[in-house]
Amino acid sequence: MGSPMTRVFLFGRNFGTLIALSFAVAIPAFLIVHALEPHLVLPALSVLFFGTAALAAIMAFSVRSKKNTENLNLWDVAGGLVITGCAASVMGEPEQVAQLFEHLFERRSHDQ
């Protein structure tokens, strides 16, 4: 399978998927940090991480990625995103989640 450096940097067969998931997380995260008020950032990032983890799990299932391998795979990425989403939700307050959804639905009702 090549040198160890090749295995680390090429992420197996799913390198393109890793790049796509990286952009799927990085671009919305950047927009969330700059568009929302500071107390709404953690709940929004938590929702983003959980959603991206679901996307990674769906991709892993659709490409039939093996679950128990020595190399990093999409199941590992999905698990890492879930853990990161849990950490973001634990560090936030429940009131902040309610304020986030109020903020989102209030904005939609004004747009219509």
- 44: which residues sit within 8 A by CB, 6+ positions away? 32, 36, 100
pLDDT at 9 over 60: no
- What is the arithmetic mean of pLDDT over 37-58? 90
Phi, psi of 36 (to 5 degrees): -100, 160
- What is the arithmetic mean of pLDDT over 27-43? 90
Torsion of CA 19, 25, 30, 31, to 10 degrees: 120
Token representation of residue 14: 């799913």
Has this prediction a pTM greater than 0.85? no
- At 5 the pLDDT is 47
